Amino acid sequence: MVKLYSTPTCVYCKTLKGYFKRNGIEFEDIDISKDEKELQKMIKLSGQMSVPVVDIDGEVILGFDKVKIDKLLKINK
């Protein structure tokens, strides 16, 4: 299960969403600007307030770390 904590104005979030879509990765997009509860969950999970934060089966990735994301999702490029 892939969860993406994002905001509509975050350029890296938009880039990451496009990357997931191009690679056929299903993900849950959680807009923290509209949901205080999810924002607090993301802060507890990541220890920070900046986005994007990706949760891949419990493995937390801060920012668009392509190398880590590719490794965890087995995307070979």
Q: 61 vs 9, 71, CA distance in Å?
A: 19, 12
Distance of CA 30 to the CA centre of its chain: 8
Tens-binned pLDDT, residue by residue, of the chain (77 aa): 999 999 999 999 999 999 999 999 999 999 999 999 999 999 999 999 999 999 999 999 999 999 999 999 999 86
| d(C-alpha 62, C-alpha 64), whole Å | 7
Q: What is the pLDDT of residue 70?
A: 96
**Domain 2-73: which topology?**
Glutaredoxin (3.40.30)
pTM of the model: 0.94
CA–CA gap between residue 21 and residue 19 (Å, rounded)? 5
Enumerate the domain spans of the chain: 2-73
Q: Are 45 and 70 in contact (CB under 8 A)?
A: no
